Amino acid sequence: MASKFLKVKCDCKNEQVIFEKAAGTVRCNVCDAVLAEA
């Protein structure tokens, strides 16, 4: 099964691309909010 990249939008309106299967905690580059957790 192929993994994908996802474009997510934070509450601060920042958009960033993250890996579909996060191995750890992924945080917003602007406001440091948690976008994904393993």
**In the chain, where are the structural domains located?**
5-36
Please state, for a pLDDT cut of 70, what percent of the chain lies above it: 97
pTM score, whole prediction? 0.79
| pLDDT of 37 above 80 | yes
Mean pLDDT, the chain, as a whole number?
A: 95
- One DSSP character per residue, 3-36 reads --EEEEE-TTS-EEEEESS-SS-EE-TTT--EEE
